[in-house]
A and B are shown apart, each in its own frame.
Chain A
Amino acid sequence: MRRLIILLFSGLVLFGASCARFHNAPTDSKDARYVVISPIYNEVIWALGAQNTVVGIDLSTTYPPEVKNVQTVGYHRALSAEGILSLHPTAIIHDNNIGPPQVVQQLQQLNIPMKTFTAKNDSCDGAKALIREMGAYFHKESRAEELCNTLDTQRTASLEKVKQYTDHPRVAVIHFGRASNVYLVVGKGSGGDGGGVSQIIELAGGEMAVENTGRGMQRMESPEIIAKANPDVILLTDYGYDRLGGATDQIKALPGVATSNAARDNRIFRIEENVLNYFGPRSGENIAKVAEIIHKK
């Protein structure tokens, strides 16, 4: 009996293993169907008005609010090939930050078209380049130009507004890393895409309180990180803030927070990740928004 079982299994396995060679296969649908795994790309697509081509988004995409209507394929580093493919995409658009590696390999093996845009949204100008590149891809060039112009106008206006503030508060930004399930502190010069956090804070008239150790965002294990920096303002991105229910005493319980000026003056605020963490179409006005929050007394 046992021998029979072993034989059956071996047969099945050998049969399956021999099916390992495949050639290019055409996709089945004619219209464009994109699975877009990147918060900034999705925001731009919606801003361009090309959202009807998007059939799947990742868990971290939260803006604009309408994205809720689209299927999510899970956390961008915990994807499942089948899950994505069940939406029958004609291409997967991502910003080189997807995983696990085996799943990426599987998608490549199946010759699924994968697209990454070359422009990096690491500054306002970078954001404009990205908007234009995506505008060309989605055939929404004129809309892209509109967005760029709006960005420029709003940026100029924001920077004017910022000049009005006389103080330069020291700001610490705390982000919640969902893959590692820990709170992270953003160091100077880093954060989000291409150091967007740091730059936006500085454009908004603030100063990054925590030095950059060269490791990007650091874990908050040591209370010294925040305590030494002694920020005037602490910003928590939305997920991390909501996770503690917005309870100030719980936030103050995070390592090093309680002794800071920010805790003393109750200048601890929530901020949307999609406002602070990257440069995008709304960055022009976001600068002013952030400035308002950090200068709030």
Chain B
Amino acid sequence: MTTQHGRRQLILIALVAVSLLVLIASIRYGAIDFSMTEISRALTSLLPGRPEPTLDQRIFLELRFPRAILCLLVGASLGVGGTLMQALFRNPIVEPGLVGTSSGAAFGSALFFVLGGVFHIGTSLWSLPVAACAGGIISTYLVFLLARPREDGRASIVMLLLTGLAVNALFMSAIGFLSYIARDPQARSITFWSLGTLSGASWKAVEIVALSTILGSIVAVRYAKQLNALMIGEEEATYLGVNVNRLKWIILSVNVVIVAVATAFTGVISFVGLVVPHILRMLGGADNRFLIVGSALTGATLLTLADLIARLSVRPAELPIGIVTSAVGVPVFIFLLRRRQYVF
């Protein structure tokens, strides 16, 4: 146990180092490249008594820096969301994008925009994530209820993916319907959202997403041991002292909240939650405490890399980030489906 434990500690430390490196790359490179001196000057311009920041420095402080942080946070939430979902459904081929959480959250956000335009509801930055959560909750619970469990309590993965497919289609077409009845400018925003982007990042968004991600992850880690027990079966977990129903509700709620809040600000970004836990398991096994922390770090890193690609490949224009994550995620998904090791 000690060697496995030690190895995991090492992996986590390495992940922290990698994510810091990637963060630095993210704040340095983009449509505008910032050198380290420019960055430090931008940061010091905030100190009292210094001259006002220049436009470039403001671009760094108000656009680039919050975007880089938001990217880490959203990547972390998606990674943790994937781990929690896989622990909950006891199958490694699920993730929030595949089982409807993301599309439900996007629908909630879209509805919020359309209704906001129609009824002139105050578009406070706090009501948007609430709308997204509501949407995400509805879609996820729908999948959970419809994918009827087998006798051993495990939802058949085929049923799960098919139900997720159906619910995704339902909510994406609902979004399409909204874009049809909405006035033109909003309609185009909605379409654009379904591909995901970090371009709307702001410090306000960072605050809100940081709150949900950090709190959600802390709660998740607290239940890591119980999730481990769940891996050997619901009955077995009960015998080990776990209140399985309560665990399911708590974890499902945490999962929906962290993914929905992230989706509210960035649109639907798929496949991060699928790939990240898989990588972690290959590196250090299936202990959920290790997985949750590791997924947060790995998700943060991978999404930041994807955002770098999105920002650099066609600069000064940008690719929607969902295109990059799908390009990598779909082959991995197919590869996972074909491995004989996984039990259906």
**Residues of A bordering B, CB below 8 Å:** 1-2, 5-6, 9-10, 12-13, 16-17, 19-20, 22-28, 56, 59, 71-75, 77-88, 97, 99-103, 105-106, 109-110, 179-181, 216, 219
Quick one: CB contact mask for B170-187 with A, threshold 8 Å, 1 for yes? 000000000110001101
Quick one: CB contact mask for B302-338 with A, threshold 8 Å, 1 for yes? 0000000001001111101000000000000000000
Given contacts A74-B318, A84-B316, contact A103 B199 (CB under 8 A): yes
Minimum CB distance partner of A100 in chain B = B189
Name the one of B32, B188, B318 contacting A85, with C-beta atoms under 8 angstroms.
B32
5 closest Cβ pairs, A-B complex: A102-B200, A74-B317, A83-B316, A86-B31, A179-B188
Q: Is B141 an interface residue (CB 8 A)?
A: no
Contact call A16/B293, Cβ cutoff below 8 A: no
Q: Is B69 an interface residue (CB 8 A)?
A: yes
Contact call A71/B191, Cβ cutoff below 8 A: no
Q: Is B277 an interface residue (CB 8 A)?
A: no
Name the one of A24, A179, A219 contacting B192, with C-beta atoms under 8 angstroms.
A179
**Residues of B bordering A, CB below 8 Å:** 9, 12-13, 16, 30-32, 46, 52-56, 58-59, 61-66, 69, 72-73, 179-180, 184-185, 187-189, 191-192, 197, 199-200, 202-204, 206-207, 210, 214, 218, 221, 293, 297, 311, 314-318, 320
Q: Which residues of B contact A9 (CB under 8 A)?
A: 72, 210, 214
Name the one of A13, A71, A181, A219 contacting B316, with C-beta atoms under 8 angstroms.
A71
Name the one of A2, A20, A105, A110 contacting B221, with C-beta atoms under 8 angstroms.
A2
Name the one of A17, A100, A181 contacting B199, with C-beta atoms under 8 angstroms.
A100
Q: Which residues of B contact A24 (CB under 8 A)?
A: 52
Contact call A6/B214, Cβ cutoff below 8 A: yes
Contact call A85/B59, Cβ cutoff below 8 A: yes
Contact call A28/B62, Cβ cutoff below 8 A: no
Chain A nearest CB, measured from B224 CB (Å): 11
A82-B311, A181-B191, A216-B184 known; 14 new pairs, CB 8 Å cut-off, are: A25-B54, A28-B54, A71-B316, A83-B315, A87-B316, A88-B55, A99-B185, A99-B192, A100-B200, A103-B200, A106-B63, A110-B59, A179-B188, A180-B187
